[in-house]
Amino acid sequence: MLEIKNLHVSVDGKEILKGLNLSVKPGEVHAIMGPNGSGKSTLSQVIAGNEAYEITSGSITYQGKDLLEMATEERAREGVFLAFQYPVEIPGVSNLQFMKTAINNIRHHRGLDEINVAEFMKQAKAKSQQVDLDPAFLKRGVNEGFSGGEKKRNEIMQMLMLEPTLAVLDETDSGLDIDALKVVADGVNALRAPDKSVVMITHYQRLLDYIVPDYVHVLARGQIIKSGGKELALELEDKGYAWLGIEEATA
Are 45 and 131 within 8 A, CB to CB? no
Residue 178 binds another protein, judged by CB under 8 A? no
Q: Crossing angle, helix 95-109 and helix 117-130, to 10 degrees?
A: 120
Query: Is residue 57 packed enough to be buried (19+ CB in 10 Å), middle (13-18) or exposed (0-12)?
Result: exposed
132-151 residues near another protein, rule: CB under 8 A: 141-142
Measured CA to CA, the distance from residue 204 to residue 233 in angstroms comes to 9
The CA angle 88-93-97, to the nearest 5 degrees, is 115
Closest distance of CB 48 from another protein, Å: 5
Spatial separation of the C-alpha atoms in residues 104 and 98, rounded to whole Å: 10
Q: How far is the CB of 4 from another protein (least distance, A)?
A: 18
The answer to whether 215 contacts another protein (rule: CB under 8 A) is no
Is 187 an interacting residue with respect to another protein (CB under 8 A)? no
Binding mask 52-91 for another protein (x = CB under 8 A): x------------------xxx-xxx---xx-x--xx-xx
Minimum distance from residue 99 beta carbon to another protein (Å): 8
Q: Is there binding between residue 33 and another protein (CB under 8 A)?
A: no
Task: Specify the stretch interacting with another protein by CB under 8 A; choose among 27-35, 97-105, 125-133, 226-234.
Answer: 97-105
By CB under 8 A, tell whether 185 contacts another protein: no
Give how many residues touch another protein by CB under 8 A: 33
Q: Are 222 and 16 in contact, with CB atoms under 8 Å apart?
A: yes
∠ CA(181), CA(184), CA(185), 5° rounding? 85
Burial class (CB in 10 A: 0-12, 13-18, 19+), 136: exposed
Chain contacts with another protein (rule: CB under 8 A): 48-52, 71-73, 75-77, 81-82, 84, 87-88, 90-93, 97-99, 101-103, 105-106, 109, 141-142, 158, 162
